[in-house]
Amino acid sequence: MSLPKIKDIQHLDAQEIKLKIIELKKEIFQLKLQKTTRQNIKPHLFKHKKHQIAQLLTIQNKLINQ
């Protein structure tokens, strides 16, 4: 599974970006919870989720500064 590309999410508007960021933060929290309870998780998902958040924040900043 490769990292998501920024061009896949460039078409989102400001509200969709905010909702997606909140959703991804919830997913990271759930992954951390699963990790602490020693459930079987895929560790690469942390990197993918954080990467997606960084991409969304980048797009959000571009929209704000325009």
Domains: count for the chain: 1
State pLDDT tens for residues 2-46. 788 888 888 889 999 999 999 999 999 999 999 999 999 999 999
State pLDDT tens for residues 49-61. 999 999 999 999 9
**Model pTM greater than 0.85?**
yes
| Residue 59 resides in a domain | yes
| Residue 60 resides in a domain | yes
- State the residue range of the domain holding 37: 10-65
| Residue 5 resides in a domain | no
Distance between CA 14 and CA 16 in Å, rounded?
Answer: 6
| Residue 2 resides in a domain | no
| Residue 14 resides in a domain | yes
| Residue 41 resides in a domain | yes
| Residue 43 resides in a domain | yes
Query: Is the distance from CB of 21 to CB of 51 less than 8 angstroms?
Result: no
User: Which pair of tokens denotes residue 20?
Assistant: 């997606």
Query: Is the distance from CB of 6 to CB of 60 less than 8 angstroms?
Result: no
Distance between CA 27 and CA 14 in Å, rounded?
Answer: 20
| Residue 47 resides in a domain | yes
Give the per-residue pLDDT at 9: 86
**Average confidence score pLDDT of the chain:** 92
